Each structure stands twice: as structure tokens, then as C-alpha cells.
Chain A
């Protein structure tokens, strides 16, 4: 039992009418492992991540399931227990650096707040914060310390967010599409920065993205989500070289390749259904070129709960 984080049968529902947004999600992260979660908007990837720290927005709640962190179920944990883990053992960086920082508080104070909120043995908090800022490539940490968020660009703010998340050397970093709101060149820098820090600290990571290309060099394993469920799990190699779920195949085909001679990018026709509208069928069946009667009347379960699995009746590479 050496899992750092183990999520089992997690569901997220709208509190008011119990409509399901995330359904029966189970996966685990081992110490030092980096896992990517890939899916379109509305696939439930961000909600799954927010559930870990109990940060779901008002109106949403966890319907069922367990989130075990080092053996403790965080869903049952008291508010205070959860608070002590947040920012300390599990830290998070968010999608939009423009809104994720408090606009009326100096950046330095926002970073210090992490240290002040948790018991720690850091003797010189201010020095520690300045070092943290320098480590993520902030040119003038002392000035940044006294600056407000609006004085910084999006890329710089995301660096500050990363510095903030790493202050207490968390065991797990959850990154919710931290590069989506940034320019492509800045994206690369941020990705490289996170990869470097992760290796340096041997930190586990959960990286949420809609862009398979982003995670390729960053993570060990990939989880593909569709309409609130996991449809495929595998190592990066497996997912890229031999995707099994037709949806994963479609996602890969829609990636732009630098050496490609294709004029047009491939796309998957149609839009994903709302998770609560799926019922007992494969959620992808309306868009799937392989779907048969069976797919529309029964739901394929994830083949097994091991490292690589697929939820499809007719996975790629199977004899058919």
C-alpha cells in the first residue's frame, strides 16, 4: 500500500438536483509519479481535481466515493484536517493566473500567507519566499515581493502561483490547466519550469489538460476522461502509440503535428453529451464510428483497475 493518493468511485453532483457531473472515477497516484488527466471541457477533469482538496464551487458536492491521501479519507476529514493539508501537503495551481491572485494584496504577503497558515520549521519566511520567487525565474524577487498582481503579466503571475504552491514542498501538486490561458511560448517555459521542479523535489503531480500534446513530455501516465467518466488509462507510451479507446484515437488524430503534410486537422464530429444525460450507454457512442447496438444499450466498464485499462466494447487492436 504505497499509493500517495487513491481515488475510488468518486462522483460529483449538483447539490440542488443531484445531477451527476463526475461518475465513478477511480485512479491512484504513487509517490513521485506524474499523472495527466485529459479531456474536453465538461468531461469532469477539473471537478475531479477540485474534489481532492474539497474546493468544489458552491452548489456542487461530492455524491459518493473516497479520496484517500496517505491512507486518510479526505472526504470524511474535518475542515481543519483538510485545511492543514491544503497548500502544505497538496498544493494546487489554477487555470487563470489573472484571477487566481488576490488583486489588493501584495504578492509577497500572499506567499507569506502560505507559511503563516501552516506549522513549519522555516526560520526566515521572507528569505524563503524570495528564494522561491527566484527559483521560478522572477527577475527581481525583492521588487516582486512588494508588487501587486496587476503589475505582472499572465506568465509572471503563473510563475508566482507556482512559487506559492511549492513553498512548503508539497508531496502532490495539482495543476489545473495552468498553461491554457498563456501564450504558446510562455506555455513552454512554464511546462519546463514545472517539469524541472518536479524532478528536483521528486514530487507527485496531477496535471489536468485538454491538450494531449502538453502532457506528453511531462507525465508518466495518462487518464482520458469523457462525459464525467474515465474511458482510458495507460502509460504515455501506450496512449500515444497504441490508443485503445476510439475517443483517444480521435484526440490523437486531432493533434497538430509539425511535420504533418495534412492541410486540415482531423476532428471528432459532434459534441460530448452532458454526463447526466448518458444513462446506460457508452457516452461516446453517438460520435463513434465503431458503435453498434450494444454500445447504445449497455455501458462498457473500465476493463480492469490496473495500470492500463479501457472502457470500450470494441477497443482498437482487439480482434474484430
Chain B
């Protein structure tokens, strides 16, 4: 029963997103014609405009447009890009790989830094080390990704003549070493952004757990302090940390636009941004739906992790 409820919620969410994206795209001024022809649209005759509208399929009523898009999306056809003529799925596949790799690396780096600094801070609340840890957290939170990215790019390229992202993007299969070099700095920038909230969540969760009775029991048994901190305190603080990690990972999937742009990574963020500028309705709608499906999947995975972390959750 719970399983079916879950499925129903997921489907409703995805349906809502599809409608929302569709409407928002039509509401913003301009359409495929104006964005591809620019001011020259003005010299077109009404007949020419009408035939272009028919060509792009935007002459039909909105309901019809939505239905024809969603039915083909559901049958696995994501439409095609007007500017390149390529099927959206062919564009999306490599872009999705880039973004997923970036988000994954960023999250892993972020969680490692965040949990480490959070544990470091929580060891002695109010001490100098706690202050240092919290300062790192605030700094990571306060520095915008684009500042950090452009700083890294400038310093590395100008000072050290090292800028792997200047070369053509390589997938891990084509050239693993190059791929990792190209991923390093953007992952780091994203990782720092993830580390800040993870650090704060870790710190407060640890401080709450450390005063629990079972921690005293563990010390009372003579368990070594390091093991108490990991096996008893951290282990019981994982739920909020997992939640925060899930949120941040989902956020990275969609929020890496700027970093992708600065580091010239052909990811989903860049693809969607370009598609919005060109008013490529099918590309935007379908890409965002793919994101939405990923997002929902992450939520389901997070719930599954909860159950692994805490046996009381059924």
C-alpha cells in the first residue's frame, strides 16, 4: 500500500513538473522564430510567420502541443533540436553523463570535507578548533561558485599555464586522465558549496547525539573514544547528514550551470541554458523532465538509505 502511495506521489509530481515547465516556457516573451531570426522577424510577412509556426508546430492550441509532446516523451521520443536537427536524446545522453559525473564528484568531495570538518568542529564546541571549523563553513557558504571558479581559472591559467578545460572535453572512456583533470576544479568548486551545509548539519547532529545516554553507555563499557565517536555518535547522526547530502546532490544536478559554463563542460546545465535562449521547446521540456526523473530517483534512494541507516524506520 505504502509502495503504491509512493508511486502515485511520484507520478503526480512528475506530471505537475511537465505542466509547469511547459507553461513557463510559453509565458516568457519570444518564441522559436524570434529567437532564431532576431530582429529580422520584423521583415517577415504574416504568411511567412504562419508557415514557420506551422513548421515548428507552435500554431496548434496549447493543449494539443502539450499532448503531442508528452505522448512522444512517454514513448521514448524526446523530440529534436531545431538548431542542430539532432534528436534531444542524442544531445542529452553525453550531457547527462557529464553532469552526473560532476555532481557525483562534487557531492563525494563535499560530503568528505563537510563531515570531516563537522566532526573536527563538534569535538570541542566553543573551542578554537570549533571556531576554525565554523569559519570554514561560513567561508564556503559565502563565496559564490562563480567567484571561486573564475579565480581558479585565472590563477591556474595565467600563473601556471595549466588549464585542462581549455582543451576539448574528454569522456572518461576517451581519455580518463584528461577527463579527471578537467573534472578536478569544477568538482572542487561544487564540493566546497556542498561542504558548507553538510558541515553545519554534521556538527549540529553530532552535538545533539553526543549527550545521548547510549553514548555514555559506550564510554562506560570502556569502548575506545575514537570508536565511540564513529560507531555510536556519527552512526546515530547520519539521518540528517544523508538528508542534506541527497538535497545537495539533487541541487548539483540542476545547479551546476554556471560552473559548467565557466569550465566549458558540455553538461546538462549548459544544454538547457542554450536551449532556453533558443526557445527550443522540446529540448528544454524533455531535458527538464529527465532531471525531474533523476531528482525523484534520488529521493527514493535517500529513503532507502534511511532504512539502511536506522533499523527503526520501516
Measured between alpha carbons, how far is A84 from B219 in the docked complex, in Å? 11
Q: Does B232 lie at the interface of the complex (its beta carbon under 8 Å from any beta carbon of A)?
A: yes
The chain B residue with its CB closest to the CB of A50 is B216
Looking at the complex, which of B73-81, B133-141, B188-196, B206-214 is the stretch in contact with chain A?
Answer: B206-214
Using known A-B contacts A96-B213, A103-B310, A103-B312, determine if residue A113 contacts B235 with beta carbons closer than 8 Å: no
- A residues whose Cβ falls under 8 Å from a Cβ of B: 53, 55, 57-58, 79, 83-88, 91-92, 94, 96, 99-105, 113-114, 117-118, 148, 150, 161, 164
Chain B 191-229 interface residues, beta-carbon cutoff 8 Å to A: 210-214, 216-225, 227
Measured CB to CB, the closest approach of chain A to B314, in angstroms, equals 10
Determine whether the beta carbon of A86 is less than 8 Å from that of B236.
no
B232 contacts across to A, CB distance below 8 A: 102, 105
Determine whether the beta carbon of A53 is less than 8 Å from that of B220.
yes
Measured between alpha carbons, how far is A83 from B227 in the docked complex, in Å? 12
Q: List 11 A-B contacts (CB under 8 A).
A: A53-B220, A55-B219, A55-B220, A83-B224, A84-B222, A91-B221, A105-B231, A113-B221, A117-B224, A148-B311, A150-B312
A53 contacts across to B, CB distance below 8 A: 220
Q: A99-B214, A104-B311, A164-B221 are in contact. List 5 more A-B contacts (CB 8 A).
A: A53-B220, A55-B220, A100-B213, A102-B218, A104-B235
Q: How many residues of B contact A (CB 8 A)?
A: 24
Determine whether the beta carbon of B312 is less than 8 Å from that of A118.
no
**Total residue contacts A-B, CB cutoff 8 A:** 80
Determine whether the beta carbon of B222 is less than 8 Å from that of A100.
no
The chain B residue with its CB closest to the CB of A148 is B311
B222 contacts across to A, CB distance below 8 A: 83-88, 114, 117-118
A117 contacts across to B, CB distance below 8 A: 221-224, 227
Measured between alpha carbons, how far is A189 from B235 in the docked complex, in Å? 33
Determine whether the beta carbon of B312 is less than 8 Å from that of A94.
no
Determine whether the beta carbon of B219 is less than 8 Å from that of A101.
no
Determine whether the beta carbon of A102 is less than 8 Å from that of B221.
no
Measured between alpha carbons, how far is A84 from B223 in the docked complex, in Å? 9
B235 contacts across to A, CB distance below 8 A: 102, 104-105
- Other-chain contact of A92, B210, B212, B220 (Cβ < 8 Å): B220
Majority secondary structure of chain B interface residues (helix, strand, loop or mixed): helix
Majority secondary structure of chain A interface residues (helix, strand, loop or mixed): loop
The chain B residue with its CB closest to the CB of A167 is B221
Determine whether the beta carbon of A101 is less than 8 Å from that of B214.
yes
Q: Does B309 lie at the interface of the complex (its beta carbon under 8 Å from any beta carbon of A)?
A: yes
Q: Among B218, B231, B309, B310, which residue has the most Cβ atoms of chain A within 10 A?
A: B218
B231 contacts across to A, CB distance below 8 A: 105, 113
The chain A residue with its CB closest to the CB of B310 is A104
Measured between alpha carbons, how far is A55 from B215 in the docked complex, in Å? 10
Measured between alpha carbons, how far is A91 from B220 in the docked complex, in Å? 7
A94 contacts across to B, CB distance below 8 A: 213, 216-217, 220
B312 contacts across to A, CB distance below 8 A: 103-104, 148, 150
Using known A-B contacts A79-B225, A102-B232, A148-B312, determine if residue A58 contacts B220 with beta carbons closer than 8 Å: no
Measured between alpha carbons, how far is A117 from B213 in the docked complex, in Å? 19
Measured between alpha carbons, how far is A150 from B221 in the docked complex, in Å? 20
Measured between alpha carbons, how far is A118 from B221 in the docked complex, in Å? 9
B216 contacts across to A, CB distance below 8 A: 55, 57, 94, 100
Determine whether the beta carbon of B213 is less than 8 Å from that of A99.
yes
